[in-house]
Amino acid sequence: QQPVQSPQAVILREGEDAVINCSSSKALYSVHWYRQKHGEAPVFLMILLKGGEQKGHDKISASFNEKKQQSSLYLTASQLSYSGTYFCGTENGGSQGNLIFGKGTKLSVKP
Amino acid sequence: NAGVTQTPKFRILKIGQSMTLQCTQDMNHNYMYWYRQDPGMGLKLIYYSVGAGITDKGEVPNGYNVSRSTTEDFPLRLELAAPSQTSVYFCASRGGGRNYGYTFGSGTRLTVV
């Protein structure tokens, strides 16, 4: 079942913060986050594993609540380079490593 | 180290024609995937492979076929192209097991007219 992402789109000014949510109706083994710029391939940002954890690098971090089957991606002090579409990909316990992707959240950062 | 290489980048097919989308990776990854991406729909899994000689269907396999004769190559075959197969196709690979992310190729934009 496709995870649900919210919001569908968000517009920020440089320096503002954003949160993107990803929710699944199934028990999850892991959650991936990817960013895709227009006309390019998705690029891996981070993976969060079952066990409930938080990860981050630079000003982008994420959390995974295993019990609620939810993950959130946090972008702080946004930069123009953060613009793009963010996808979460969820992996279920028996999926052999296959990801089901959400429909994406389009993030636009304005000067 | 080229990563995941897809060819061609663009292609226009006529209804009923066939073609093969090529995908090669040089990272010795066991897991490989084909996804299609339609506007506003995210990525849908077509086929996947967990190693040479092993393939399986994903969510939307109808109209497609794959083979995996080597670790490096995972071609996707479209038979009897239909307008519904107009999409952007991404090949991806994953190494090191399930705790690692996907590396995507640059994609093939296919139009069926």
Report pLDDT digits (tens) over A12-30.
999 999 999 999 998 888 9
- Interface A-B, measured as beta-carbon pairs within 8 A, has a size of 60
- Is B113 an 8 Å CB contact of chain A? no
3-class secondary-structure state, position A111: coil
User: What is the distance between the alpha carbons of residues B38 and B32, in angstroms, rounded to a whole number?
Assistant: 20
Query: Are A87 and A34 spatial neighbours (Cβ–Cβ below 8 Å)?
Result: yes
Average pLDDT over chain B reads 95
Amino acid identity for residue B38 in this structure: D
Say if the Cβ atoms of A103 and B43 lie within 8 Å: no
Q: Which residue stretches of chain B have pLDDT < 70?
A: 1
pLDDT, position A95: 62
Q: Which residue has the tokens 């630079």?
A: A58
Say if the Cβ atoms of B101 and A44 lie within 8 Å: yes
Query: A111 to chain B nearest CA, in Å?
Result: 26
Query: Are A70 and A88 spatial neighbours (Cβ–Cβ below 8 Å)?
Result: no
Structure tokens given for B47: 């086929």
- Is B81 an 8 Å CB contact of chain A? no
pLDDT score of A52 more than 70: no
Report pLDDT digits (tens) over A27-51.
888 999 999 999 999 999 999 987 7
pLDDT, position B112: 97
